[in-house]
């Protein structure tokens, strides 16, 4: 039998605050990526309609949105 008070004391459980913050940060990055890519693609779509260019501007703006979105994720993780 161990009479040491350190071993008899129950350890308080720590709330998973850090895990929740990580989850919220990563889900926020996901929505930010979708928003950036979506806005750029929509801008390209509307410019294509106005200028009567086939899907050229949609593709260009989609790639610009992808680059911007991945750059933002890179900056947030570094």
How large is the greatest C-alpha to C-alpha distance in the chain, in angstroms?
A: 85
Instruction: Look up residue 73 and give its two tokens.
Output: 């994720």
In a domain, 11, yes or no: no
In a domain, 34, yes or no: yes
In a domain, 3, yes or no: no
Q: How many domains does the chain have?
A: 1
In a domain, 37, yes or no: yes
Structural domain containing residue 40: 29-78
**What DSSP element (H or E) covers 29?**
helix 17-51
DSSP 9: S
Residues in the chain: 78
In a domain, 75, yes or no: yes
pLDDT digits 0-9 by tens, 10-34: 666 666 667 777 888 888 899 999 9
Residue 40 near residue 61 (C-beta atoms within 8 A):
yes
- C-alpha 24/C-alpha 19 separation (Å) is 9
pTM over 0.85? The answer is no
Residue 37 has pLDDT above 70, yes or no: yes
User: Among residues of the chain, what percentage have pLDDT more than 90?
Assistant: 59
């Amino acid at each position: 039998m161990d009479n040491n008070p350190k071993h008899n004391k129950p350890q308080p459980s720590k709330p998973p605050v850090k895990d929740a913050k990580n989850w919220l940060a990563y889900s926020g990055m996901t929505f930010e990526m979708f928003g950036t890519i979506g806005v750029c693609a929509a801008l390209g779509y509307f410019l294509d309609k106005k200028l009567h260019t086939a899907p050229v501007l949609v593709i260009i703006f989609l790639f610009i949105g992808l680059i911007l979105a991945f750059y933002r994720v890179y900056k947030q993780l570094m």
